[in-house]
Amino acid sequence: MTETLLRFEDILEFVSAYNPDSDEDLLRRAYVYSAMAHRGQVRVSGEPYLVHPLEVARILAEMHLDEVAIATGLLHDLLEDTWVTEEELEEQFGEHITGLVKALTKITTMEQSYAAREAAQAENVRRMLLASIVDVRVILVKLADRLHNMRTLGYLPENRRKRIAAETMEIYAPIAHRLGMGRIKAELEDLALAYQHPEEHRRLTEQLGQREEVASSMIAEIRGAITQVLEENSIKADVRGRIKHLHSIWTKLRRQGIGLDRVYDFLAFRLIVDTVPHCYAALGLIHQLWRPVPGRIKDYIAMPKPNAYQSLHTSVIGPEGQPFEVQIRTLDMDEIAERGIAAHWLYKEGRELSHDAERVSWLRSLVEGQQENPRDFLNSLKLNLYPEEVYTFTPKGEVFAFARGATPIDFAYHVHTEVGHHCVGARINGKLVPLRTPLQNGDIVEILTSSNQVPSRDWLEIAVSGRAQNKIRGWLNRGEKEQAVEAGRRLLERECRRLGISLKHLREEGKLAQMASDHGFGREEDLAAAVGFGRLSLKDVLAPFARTRATAPVVAPAPGKVRVGAADGSVIMVRGQRDLLTYRAQCCNPLPGDQIVGYVTRGRGVAVHAAQCPNVRKLLFTAEREVEVEWAGVEGAFAVPLNVGFEDRPGMLASISQAANGENANIRSCHLSTNEDRLGTAELVVDVQGREHLEKVLVALRHIPGVTSVETSVTAPGRRLRVL
Ligand code: MN
């Protein structure tokens, strides 16, 4: 306890040095409360748990953040890991800090399935990012939390180390980069490297260690030469030389496929000068000393990176023919390069959170949108956070930065939503190109539009930016609503005709509006949409008028029915809504990965067929009963019947079960029979995860010596039919 108290006093002293006005009382209360709540808890490392929130607080203090952030750091694990309730926390520390802690509290799932864990992870990240848009301190505390967890990751079992290191590389290091927090990003990357590729990390450290002596004498020599030439020209500068951080050397080795002995530019120098003109003057002097490497001169002062990073970069060929990198910037720029968004934290008078909101507006594009599927959300998040950027230009010279792989569609949506919706083509550097052409650094892009053009579903495959994807999805969903309204109206009309009543009269007498409000809708249009989507049955809607003939309703699921998966665990989502009962059609047994179509049945919900199931063509002549469906949360086993033909020989059963096991496919049942010609058949039912998995199992079975045929009743994948 005394030791942790000392650590805390240490932090307090540090905070008051950079922020004399800080609320020491708040920090003390947070410390005492956290110490009380975590009392008796121990980390895997054997240390008292309290060490963790304390170290998180220290990292936040090193970012020079305010007392609210640091207090949140001290309290961040209370709701997740102690008996403290939200109400108690709020009573002690108020609504705001409690809100910050809540955003950092993970929801956990007792379920062990990968899908459940993935869904929980997606939800946690989404909530944390959403809260950060309102108050960026949430994500700063999260980064500090992650940094300390990474520093102590060695105590966890290997599978968890690997998982957390991967998540750090995919989500948190890129977020630190986007926030301009170079120092934390570098440390997160180096730590992750140690756990993701322990062997390579060890070798690299060892090799760098061997070259340390040479490196430090080279650093001293070059540093001396730089200092001298700057002094001669009366430019005051702080010159620092260092070995680049491990992860950036490692990336270079990977990218160029070479060994460390052939990486020469692992040295980097940084010149901190006092004014912008001195930055350029220093660059000129460096280039007079050593020859610059063509194509490596970058002016991020004139063109700052999207994360506000500013600096001049160059690579030059050093005294012994080895290239090295030089960064030149002012002290202010250096602060921003190292600490990013945190650099401004305390200096602004009368700061408002809305200022930060502007600086993190890119967060919004990551979180917003209709990606309800957790995997889609995480994938698009990772893709959009991917730090490799492509810089492109408008014909007027404006710079747009994108993740690698971005296409003219991303560019078009970046210009304006309407430009995106109507984009038909693009000219890159004056040449007409197809929409799926990946953008390259330095491309000048001009978008061609046509008022007749509208977004199509393929665009979701072509666009990579969150913004473009969300806009496209939004447009498509709106389109679906319109289609549903139309289908609903048609259904109502037809049903009315069948019942011998006039829809027109109903509308004129105001009965339609009455019906809408009876079912909780504001407008007739929404009622029609609900019918069109199948959320509301025609029978229910028209019941008050259907005096005479009672017939089975066309659209059957009762309102309010919760979406349920089929009995075998498959879950299929009806696009745009989650409240229809679905089941896999027995005729074609579609699997995740297959193109599918849904067909609204009489009384049984939505039957889901493989798109090329022969029955579908016959069924879909009533186009309004087709609904779009997609796979959702498809973790789970799908039973597939197989017929395996073989030449009878010993060990066949073992070979079959080995082949299935080798692909991790559980055999539910197996029935073997042979005839007098020593030809045999095995009727199997295996559990597979989806189409791809099934294909693997089929290949494995076909490769068994003696197997002559493998058949399945499950239709092969193909193009999706579009009837609507
Ligand atoms: Mn924590």
CB 319 within 8 A of CB 302: no
Q: What are 653-672's pLDDT values in tens digits?
A: 888 888 888 888 888 877 87
Domain of residue 677, CATH code: 3.30.70.260
Question: Are residue 106 and residue 187 in the same domain, yes or no?
Answer: yes
Is the per-residue pLDDT at 623 higher than 70? no
Q: Going by C-beta distance under 8 Å and a sequence separation of 6 or more, which residues neighbour residue 666?
A: 637, 660, 686, 687
**Residue 338, exposed/middle/buried by CB under 10 A (0-12, 13-18, 19+)?**
middle
Question: Are residue 164 and residue 307 in the same domain, yes or no?
Answer: no
**Residue 677, exposed/middle/buried by CB under 10 A (0-12, 13-18, 19+)?**
exposed
Is the per-residue pLDDT at 261 higher than 70? no
CA distance 302 to 449: 31
Look at residue 535 and tell me if it is in a domain: no
The CA 12 to ligand 1 mean position distance, Å, reads: 20
From 442, 473, 504, the end of a domain falls on: 473
Question: Are residue 321 and residue 462 in the same domain, yes or no?
Answer: no
- Banded pLDDT at 159 (limits 50, 70, 90): confident
Question: Are residue 161 and residue 206 in the same domain, yes or no?
Answer: no
The number of beta carbons lying within 10 Å of the beta carbon of residue 247 is 23
Interval 452-475 mean pLDDT: 85
The CA 74 to ligand 1 mean position distance, Å, reads: 9
Least confident of 20-34, 182-196, 318-332: 318-332
Question: Are residue 658 and residue 724 in the same domain, yes or no?
Answer: yes
The CA 149 to ligand 1 mean position distance, Å, reads: 7
Range of the domain at 462: 368-473
Question: Cα angle at 687 between 686 and 692, to 5 degrees?
Answer: 105
From 328, 343, 358, the end of a domain falls on: 343
- In this structure, are strands 606-610 and 582-584 parallel, antiparallel, or unpaired? parallel
Domain of residue 374, CATH code: 3.10.20.30
Report residue 196 as tokens.
């993701």
pLDDT on residue 32: 94
User: Is 88 one of the catalytic residues?
Assistant: no
CB 75 within 8 A of CB 87: no
The domain tally of the chain equals 4
Question: Are residue 661 and residue 708 in the same domain, yes or no?
Answer: yes
- φ/ψ (deg, to 5) at 638: -120, 125
Question: Are residue 191 and residue 236 in the same domain, yes or no?
Answer: no
Which residues partner with 75 through β-bridges?
A: none
- Indicate which residue of 23, 47, 62, 81 is catalytic: 81
Look at residue 360 and tell me if it is in a domain: no
CB 193 within 8 A of CB 250: yes
The CA 108 to ligand 1 mean position distance, Å, reads: 14
CB 462 within 8 A of CB 431: no
420-424, 603-607, 651-655 — which one is most confidently predicted on average?
420-424
Q: Going by C-beta distance under 8 Å and a sequence separation of 6 or more, which residues neighbour residue 287?
A: 314, 316
As a whole number, the mean pLDDT across the chain is: 81
Task: Reduce the DSSP state of residue 610 to 3 states and report it.
Answer: strand
The CA 237 to ligand 1 mean position distance, Å, reads: 40
Question: Are residue 129 and residue 22 in the same domain, yes or no?
Answer: yes
Is the per-residue pLDDT at 1 higher than 60? no
pLDDT on residue 648: 79
Angle between helix 511-518 and 524-533 (nearest 10):
60
Q: Three-state SS across 472-529?
A: HHHHHHHHHHHHHHHHHHHHHHHHHHHHCCCHHHHHHCCHHHHHHHHCCCCCHHHHHH
- φ/ψ (deg, to 5) at 504: -60, -45
Q: Which residue has the tokens 């280039």?
A: 287
Q: Going by C-beta distance under 8 Å and a sequence separation of 6 or more, which residues neighbour residue 520?
A: none
Interval 98-109 mean pLDDT: 87
Q: What are 276-296's pLDDT values in tens digits?
A: 999 999 999 999 999 998 888
Q: What are 628-648's pLDDT values in tens digits?
A: 777 765 566 777 778 888 887
* Alpha-carbon 430 to chain mean position: 34
The CA 528 to ligand 1 mean position distance, Å, reads: 49
Is the per-residue pLDDT at 577 higher than 50? yes
The CA 177 to ligand 1 mean position distance, Å, reads: 21
Q: What is the percent of the chain where pLDDT is above 90?
A: 29
CB 176 within 8 A of CB 139: no
Report residue 234 as tokens.
């009366």
CA distance 704 to 695: 15
User: Is 81 one of the catalytic residues?
Assistant: yes
The CA 497 to ligand 1 mean position distance, Å, reads: 64
- Banded pLDDT at 567 (limits 50, 70, 90): very low
Report residue 715 as tokens.
């239709």
From 449, 473, 497, the end of a domain falls on: 473
Question: Are residue 161 and residue 246 in the same domain, yes or no?
Answer: no
Report residue 721 as tokens.
């039919």
Q: What are 308-356's pLDDT values in tens digits?
A: 889 999 999 888 788 889 999 999 999 889 888 887 765 444 455 555 6
Question: Cα angle at 656 between 652 and 659, to 5 degrees?
Answer: 135
Question: Are residue 381 and residue 305 in the same domain, yes or no?
Answer: no
Question: Are residue 151 and residue 209 in the same domain, yes or no?
Answer: no
CA distance 712 to 606: 24
Question: Are residue 337 and residue 374 in the same domain, yes or no?
Answer: no
Count, in order, helices (H) and strands (E) of the chain: 30, 21
Is the per-residue pLDDT at 272 higher than 70? yes
Nearest to 149 by CA among 113, 117, 195, 116: 195
Is the per-residue pLDDT at 120 higher than 90? no
pLDDT on residue 576: 53
CA distance 2 to 20: 25
The CA 329 to ligand 1 mean position distance, Å, reads: 35
**Residue 263, exposed/middle/buried by CB under 10 A (0-12, 13-18, 19+)?**
middle
User: What pTM, to 2 d.p., does this model score?
Assistant: 0.59
- Indicate which residue of 23, 47, 80, 630 is catalytic: 80
Interval 258-266 mean pLDDT: 69
Q: Tell me the C-alpha to C-alpha distance, in Å, between residue 550 and each of 118, 527, 542, 544, 547.
A: 47, 22, 11, 12, 8
Question: In terms of pLDDT, which residue wins out, 13 or 211?
Answer: 13
Helix, strand, coil: what percent of the chain each, to 5? 50, 15, 35
Question: Cα angle at 94 between 89 and 99, to 5 degrees?
Answer: 75
Q: Three-state SS across 168-188?
A: HHHHHHHHHHHCCCHHHHHHH
CB 27 within 8 A of CB 5: no
pLDDT on residue 401: 81
DSSP 620: T
Look at residue 505 and tell me if it is in a domain: no
CA-based torsion, 493, 496, 500, 501: positive or negative: negative
Q: Which residue has the tokens 């229910």?
A: 540
Q: Going by C-beta distance under 8 Å and a sequence separation of 6 or more, which residues neighbour residue 340?
A: 176, 179, 180, 181, 182, 307, 308
CB 167 within 8 A of CB 196: no
Look at residue 491 and tell me if it is in a domain: no
Q: Which residue has the tokens 């848009």?
A: 133
Look at residue 483 and tell me if it is in a domain: no
Q: What are 667-707's pLDDT values in tens digits?
A: 887 787 777 777 888 888 888 888 888 888 888 888 888 88
Look at residue 21 and tell me if it is in a domain: yes
Look at residue 519 and tell me if it is in a domain: no
Q: Three-state SS across 333-353?
A: HHHHHHHHHHHHCCCCCCCCH
Look at residue 545 and tell me if it is in a domain: no
Domain of residue 149, CATH code: 1.10.3210.10
pLDDT on residue 92: 94
Domain of residue 252, CATH code: 3.30.460.10
The CA 71 to ligand 1 mean position distance, Å, reads: 13
* Alpha-carbon 259 to chain mean position: 33
